[in-house]
């Protein structure tokens, strides 16, 4: 399941109930997943490829700027703020919804107090000049703003256009580009930094020169960028399911474009499916895997992600996984047939897995 999306969540159900009687052809669902209870297919903005599986809605990919800009004339826009992705992402979602409304249309948003409901209400007032709380359940507050006669499109555009860039010596001289809705958007994540330092020291010690480096759950690509700089002859494989992150990764690795294969998908494919993926990286060929796994993934999903390494690792291959709690990831690596050692550094655990 995609992090932050649960069809049975009390807040999602509040949103669904509010829209249950509306003509779904006029409904824009902004990053809320498939809302249960709609009378038919709506238009839905999706951030992650996993949201496309089995979708009956008309799905618009979050990395498709022109398609997003063309969204107009909706009677309702429902926003589900995914708190772990940050306030800037929630604001951009509200802005996408507000921009797409027709006069008289309504912007809906559901959030808990602890997850910033008041700042979202303030943002709705900034965009449309009004907000009303129309229902509450299990700590959630369902908020509604109506596009009456005032809409701040300049502000909406400003929130939609937010972009970030940061540089890190260990990632080479070029900036890493990022945007709301992706992990580690303003700076290098601390866990990623620890993992890079650890792998760099290991590579010095053993004289590592991996032929194929995999970055599983690559985000905007700091680990694969590090690998491109540190192992300048390695073939690079990056896997990421977030569409916006994957699109940024492609830009962030432009310098190593000829060596890079990017698969925008849910984890590693089963080997039988590998021939259908492009890029020519074969099962059994990964000599070094680097992983900073999703912290909000459910236990089963995380184990499955790491278990998927098994058929891709080369004999004698090595993997490094950085986590804040080792248990689940260690289990996934054991299920992948690896020998696992753990080292603790600066509040993180780095799991070293090897396939003898």
Ligand X SMILES: C[S@@+](CC[C@H](N)C(=O)[O-])C[C@H]1O[C@@H](n2cnc3c(N)ncnc32)[C@H](O)[C@@H]1O
Chain positions contacting ligand X, by CB under 6 A: 183-184, 189, 192, 217-219, 222-223, 239-242, 245, 266-267, 292, 294-295, 297, 305
Q: Which is nearer to ligand X, 105 or 308 (CB)?
A: 308
Q: Which is nearer to ligand X, 108 or 348 (CB)?
A: 348
For residues 348 and 196, the answer to whether their CB atoms sit within 8 Å is: no
Per DSSP, the residues of 256-283 read: GGGGEEEEESSSPPPHHHHTTSSS-PPT
How near is the Cβ of 47 to ligand X at its closest, in Å? 9
How near is the Cβ of 65 to ligand X at its closest, in Å? 19
What is the residue whose two structure tokens read 């009687």? 21
Which residue has its beta carbon closest to ligand X? 219
Q: From CA 161, how far away is CA 184, in angstroms rounded?
A: 17
Q: From CA 269, how far away is CA 254, in angstroms rounded?
A: 24
How near is the Cβ of 299 to ligand X at its closest, in Å? 13
For residues 198 and 274, the answer to whether their CB atoms sit within 8 Å is: no
Residues 275, 276, 278, 284: what is their CA dihedral angle, to the nearest 10 degrees? -30
CB atoms within 10 A of CB 127: 26
Q: Which is nearer to ligand X, 242 or 330 (CB)?
A: 242
| Spatial CA neighbour of 183 closest among 249, 120, 138 | 249
Q: Which is nearer to ligand X, 71 or 217 (CB)?
A: 217
φ, ψ for residue 74, nearest 5 deg? -90, 145
Q: Which is nearer to ligand X, 144 or 193 (CB)?
A: 193
How near is the Cβ of 103 to ligand X at its closest, in Å? 36
- First-residue to last-residue Cα distance in the chain: 32
Q: From CA 249, how far away is CA 254, in angstroms rounded?
A: 8
Residues 20, 22, 23, 28: what is their CA dihedral angle, to the nearest 10 degrees? -90
Q: Which is nearer to ligand X, 126 or 171 (CB)?
A: 171
For residues 75 and 105, the answer to whether their CB atoms sit within 8 Å is: yes
Ranges of H-type helices in 21-100? 65-69, 87-99
How near is the Cβ of 39 to ligand X at its closest, in Å? 31
Q: Which is nearer to ligand X, 147 or 352 (CB)?
A: 352
E strands, 113-193, where? 132-137, 140-146, 164-166, 176-178
How near is the Cβ of 218 to ligand X at its closest, in Å? 5
Q: Which is nearer to ligand X, 184 or 287 (CB)?
A: 184
How near is the Cβ of 290 to ligand X at its closest, in Å? 8
How near is the Cβ of 95 to ligand X at its closest, in Å? 22
């Amino acid at each position: 399941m995609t992090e932050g999306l649960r069809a049975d969540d009390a807040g999602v159900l509040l949103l669904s109930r509010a829209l249950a009687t509306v003509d779904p052809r006029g409904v824009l669902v902004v990053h809320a997943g498939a809302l249960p209870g709609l009378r038919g297919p709506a238009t839905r903005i999706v951030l992650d490829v996993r949201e496309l599986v089995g979708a009956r809605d008309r799905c618009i990919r979050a990395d498709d700027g022109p398609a997003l800009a063309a969204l107009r004339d909706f009677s309702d826009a429902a926003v589900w703020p995914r708190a772990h992705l940050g306030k800037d992402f929630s604001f951009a979602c509200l802005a996408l919804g507000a921009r797409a409304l027709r006069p008289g249309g309504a912007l809906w948003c559901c959030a808990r107090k602890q997850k910033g409901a008041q700042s979202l209400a303030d943002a709705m007032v900034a965009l449309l000049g009004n907000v009303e709380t129309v229902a509450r359940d299990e700590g959630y507050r369902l908020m509604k703003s109506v596009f009456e006669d005032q809409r701040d499109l300049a502000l909406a555009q400003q929130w939609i256009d937010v972009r970030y860039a940061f540089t890190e010596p260990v990632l080479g001289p070029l900036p890493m580009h990022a945007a709301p809705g992706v992990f580690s958007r303003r700076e290098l994540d601390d866990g990623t930094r620890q993992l890079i330092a650890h792998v760099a020291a290991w590579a010095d010690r053993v004289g590592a020169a991996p032929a194929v480096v995999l970055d599983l759950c690559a985000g905007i690509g700091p680990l694969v960028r590090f690998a491109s700089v540190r192992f300048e002859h390695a073939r690079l494989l990056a896997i990421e399911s977030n569409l916006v992150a994957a699109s940024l990764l492609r830009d962030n690795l432009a310098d190593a474009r000829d060596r890079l294969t990017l698969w925008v998908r849910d984890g590693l494919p089963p080997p039988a499916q590998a021939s259908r993926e492009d890029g020519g990286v074969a099962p059994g060929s990964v000599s070094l895997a680097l992983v900073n796994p999703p912290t909000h993934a459910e236990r089963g999903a995380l184990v499955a992600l790491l278990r998927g390494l098994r058929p891709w690792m080369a004999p004698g291959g090595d993997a490094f996984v950085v986590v804040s709690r080792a248990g689940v990831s260690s289990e996934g690596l054991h299920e992948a047939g690896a020998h696992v050692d753990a080292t603790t550094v600066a509040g993180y655990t780095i799991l070293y897995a090897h396939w003898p």
